[in-house]
Amino acid sequence: MSSLNLVSGSTTCPIPFLSHATTTNTSVMFPTTNHIIFSTKPPFSSAFSVSALVTTANQEAIVIDKPTTTTFDFTTYMFRKADVVNKALDAAIPMKEPQKIHEAMRYSLLAGGKRVRPLLCIAACELVGGDEETALAAACAVEMIHTMSLIHDDLPCMDNDDLRRGKPTNHKAFGEDVAILAGDALLAFAFEHIAMSSKGVSPARIVRAIAELAKSVGSEGLVAGQIVDTHSEGLSDVGLERLEYIHVHKTAVLLEAAVVLGGLMGGGNDDQVEKLRLFARSIGLLFQVVDDILDVTKSSEQLGKTAGKDLVADKVTYPKLLGIEKSKEFAHKLNKDALQYLSGFDEEKAAPLVALANFIAYRQN
């Protein structure tokens, strides 16, 4: 069994976000041999690259290739796993009475998206010896909670956003009252789904997973980040420490929970789960740093949500405090740190998590 050594081969250049790339099937070469391919169709995989992609409601994709020593078709992996997750989400919440609330839940849950969190959960489970089916209920639960957070975050009393995943936000489509209740219902059902639908997992591990997920979304997790973020708008004395607190709690904790749940459901030991936690903590913060950068460098059409809203709301962000270039350098450091925590794991089994980390770092929306 080979082990993964990611430190010696890492690049030292900042992440090359491409604000000028405009056409599909375009390759841009960098001195470090990194290249990014923008495509609306799944590309052919190569024997020397890992590909990451974004699934959307109409099954288009943006593909990002990073050289690696592992022969692994990540494009096929990503499409297949995303399809499994989408079908599982569809089956988990069918249309039934009361139809209005279930329609609203399905509207946001099945609106497409990158499915990064459920894919991280499944990949972590497989890394420690579990399989897709073992992680699927937990993966779907995390995505339900993520969708709840988006519905509530878009409300007029919060971020007041009109666009999400290229569609009108839930409250624009169904009204504020229904949107709030749809989010509440997704949150509650997420825990029911783990408890009732997990397969091949011991009750003790299911209880640990439920506790981990509950903590990630509560008053010391996502809610903590949201409340501090809301009450930091317009303040002139918000520093890096407070900003990191907001991002770690508002965004990173749920990504961390997704990976940790995968490790737990897959039967990982305490040491393996802790390494996965540290990996996820780094990519969780990385996800939000990249989000901050994209918010000021991309259009609403490119993002599928309202661009520049943090600037309008006078929110503190990494580009605002550090500038664009320093923010890119920080994102590169977080990606490098994350990959170090996968050292020692089986190389082939770790390949999906490596590719997902690189996707998070190099994504364009």
Question: Residue 201: which of 272, 133, 118 has the closest Cα?
Answer: 133
d(CA 352, CA 192): 28
Question: Residue 209: which of 250, 259, 252, 249 has the closest Cα?
Answer: 259
What pLDDT does 47 receive? Answer: 28
**pLDDT by position in tens, the chain (length 365):** 444 433 333 332 333 332 223 323 322 222 222 332 222 233 223 222 333 333 333 333 333 344 445 577 888 888 899 999 999 999 999 999 999 999 999 999 999 888 999 999 999 999 999 999 999 999 999 999 999 999 999 999 998 999 998 899 999 999 999 999 999 999 999 999 999 999 999 999 999 999 999 999 999 999 999 999 888 877 777 889 999 999 999 999 999 999 999 999 999 999 999 999 999 999 999 999 998 899 888 666 655 556 555 655 567 889 889 999 999 999 999 999 999 999 989 999 999 999 999 999 988 77
Three-state SS at 306: coil
Tokens coding 78: 């990503």
Chain centroid, CA 112 distance in Å: 13
What pLDDT does 356 receive? Answer: 94
Burial 256-273 (b: 16+ CB within 10 A, else e): bbbbbbbbbbbbbeeebb
List, in order, residues 6 or more apart from 284 with CB less than 8 Å away. Answer: 248, 251, 252, 253, 254, 255, 256
For the chain, give the number of residues: 365
SS3 content of the chain, % helix, strand, coil (to 5): 60, 5, 35
What pLDDT does 56 receive? Answer: 37
Q: One-letter amino acid identity for 172?
A: K
What pLDDT does 61 receive? Answer: 37
Chain centroid, CA 144 distance in Å: 13
Question: Residue 139: which of 257, 288, 247, 253 has the closest Cα?
Answer: 257
Angle, CA of 295, 297 and 303, to the nearest 5°: 55
Tokens coding 127: 């890394």
Phi, psi dihedral angles at 112 (to 5 degrees): 95, -145
Q: pTM for the full model? A: 0.79
* Cβ atoms of 321 and 293 closer than 8 Å: no
d(CA 207, CA 126): 20
Question: Residue 290: which of 317, 271, 313 has the closest Cα?
Answer: 317
d(CA 358, CA 355): 5
Phi, psi dihedral angles at 28 (to 5 degrees): -125, 120
d(CA 359, CA 38): 13
d(CA 92, CA 145): 14
List, in order, residues 6 or more apart from 64 with CB less than 8 Å away. Answer: 36, 37, 51, 52, 53, 358, 359, 362, 363, 364
Tokens coding 77: 């992996």
* Sheet with 63-67, edge to edge strand ranges: 26-29, 35-38, 63-67, 49-52
d(CA 333, CA 316): 21
